[in-house]
Amino acid sequence: MTIGVKSKVCLLGGVALSLAGYIFLNTQGVWAFIVATVLGICGVGCLDILRLDVGESLTLRSVLGLYMLHRIFGILGLWAYRSMLKTDPKQAQDKLLMKLINTNKNTKYGIDHNFSMIKSPEDFIEQHPVTKYDHYEEYFDRVIAGETDVIVANSTPTYIVLTSGTTGHNKKYPVSNSGANKIGGLEIFKTFLAANYILRKTLSPELKLLKTLDVNVIQDPIYTDKGIPMGGLAGRFKMSTPGTAAPRMVLDVSTQDEALYLYALYGMKERKLNHIMIPLASVGLKFFELIESKWQHLCDDIEMGTIWKDLDIDSKIREELEKQLKGDKIRANELRKEFNKGIEGIGPRIWQHLPMIMMISTGSFKIYGDIVKERYIGEQIPIVSHAHAASEGIMAQ
């Protein structure tokens, strides 16, 4: 954090505490007490920020926003974690299963499979077959064609998730926002909060206000005859998380090599990152391979505040990004020094305080994670499989 931003935080905290004291001592009434309390909390928060490790490139607004976000998520995460510890897993699963069955018993699928006659999880196990994708394919095709109440009641598909096609051809899974919210939107959010709390408590227990690098390459969707977008799972969530190093506009770059170059550029500009998040270890390997092959161009861009002229991106995106970029010769030379030592173990050398890289590196993705660890990050930076995710996993939504 620059001296200028640090001074502003200190000044803001002092003003807030002074106003809180004045209101508390000189006015009466419930509202005056509430205002004084809020100002006092804000002032204490500003003073608390001064003791934290804060990213050099953060503005006053982003520092305050990140601080509030971390504090709120910390409280909610602890609540979600304790709530889940008190929950019996089997009981929760049985409850969710019966909710799914009862919610969808009047759909075509529910009628075909006698959901109205299923009164317990044991009934379901006994009456419903063990299935594969082809069991559902006809129903999915009917949903995609525009038919309603086929599998999920009272929901219209907003997106068709396509699998990667590793088994021979792309499978299609229709999903809807309304379906997810009806079935368990709150539980999904609680799971996210609890998982984030556990990760932070285990790998990065000390609060730091640093940028993150959230790598997300979203290819342009294709559309069904009914105008429903189809694409990979990541394409369903085209959003930029608060505090991420790369501007939201990078999400509009739909070609993988170009997007990864931009993520690398913005990530390498930061000396410290709170984490790197990449959906899959296969993409993570390509990310580090791109850094290995293009590090000289990346360092030049960081020094000059430019984007490599041969990078094939839309001219408007290039223009907007270059308006925001600022040259940093010192950082560029720091990076060159490390790259000239060799590529092995480059990760912890250019991001010396990186607590974790979050990417799915289990199952068929383990081989990619192993290469990333062996060649680029060693044992110093843990790889965390933050979710057990697959396109098939969102079928109930």
pLDDT category at 179 given cuts 50, 70, 90 is: low
Position 341 in a domain? yes
At residue 175, the 3 state secondary structure works out as strand
pLDDT category at 107 given cuts 50, 70, 90 is: very high
- CB < 8 Å & 24+ apart, contacts of 244-248: 244/211, 244/212, 244/213, 244/214, 245/211, 245/212, 245/213, 245/269, 245/270, 245/273, 246/213, 246/214, 247/321, 247/324
Total domain count, the chain:
2
Q: What are phi and psi of 187, to 5 degrees?
A: -65, -40
**Calpha distance 370→217 (Å, rounded):** 22
Among the candidates 51, 77, 93, a domain finishes at: 51
**Given the DSSP bridges, would you call strands 357-360 and 383-384 parallel, antiparallel or unpaired?**
parallel
Position 367 in a domain? yes
Buried b (16+ CB within 10 A) or exposed e, 382-393: ebbbbeeeebee
Which structural domain, as residue segments, surrounds residue 23? 1-51
Q: Which residues, 6 or more positions from 25, have their beta carbon under 8 angstroms from its beta carbon?
A: none
Position 360 in a domain? yes
Position 111 in a domain? no
Give 42-93 pLDDT, tens digit per residue.
Answer: 999 999 988 888 888 888 888 898 899 989 999 999 999 998 888 888 998 8
Position 305 in a domain? yes
- Which of these, 270, 355, 256, 390, lies nearest to 312 by C-alpha position? 256
Among the candidates 35, 51, 67, a domain finishes at: 51
User: Which residues on neighbouring strands pair with residue 101, listed in sequence order?
Assistant: none
Q: Which amino acid is at 120?
A: S
Position 226 in a domain? yes
Give 300-341 pLDDT, tens digit per residue.
Answer: 999 999 999 999 999 999 999 999 999 999 999 999 999 999
Q: What's the predicted TM-score (pTM) here?
A: 0.83
Position 132 in a domain? no
Position 258 in a domain? yes
